[in-house]
Amino acid sequence: SDLVQSTPKFVKDTSKFWYKPNISREDAILMLKDKAPGIFVVRDSNSFPGAFGLALKVAQVPPNVQTKA
């Protein structure tokens, strides 16, 4: 038989660091302003109920990407 035993792996919940449900887009941008590229924040969308917003700090804005300041 192909029985595979595995040990459960415990993962630390890090969502408290990256999920900020109640902040605005502007606050998310300010939060990332002095952070290193690759840092991100996920928040609840204010414009689209049930959707999320993603703010991501990048070293250089990719071509053809619209940004809002």
Among 3.30.505.10, 3.40.50.720, 3.90.1150.10, 3.20.20.80, what is the CATH number of 15-56? 3.30.505.10
pLDDT band at 2 (very low <50, low <70, confident <90, very high): confident
Residues 13-33 pLDDT 10s: 887 889 999 999 999 999 999
Instruction: Provide the pLDDT for residue 69.
Output: 58
Could you count the other beta carbons within 10 Å of the beta carbon of residue 35? 11
Instruction: Provide the pLDDT for residue 1.
Output: 59
Instruction: Provide the pLDDT for residue 38.
Output: 95
**CA pair distance 25, 46, nearest whole angstrom:** 9
**CA pair distance 21, 46, nearest whole angstrom:** 10
Q: Closest by alpha carbon to 19, among 65, 52, 63?
A: 52
Average pLDDT over residues 38-43: 96
In the chain, where are the structural domains located?
Answer: 15-56
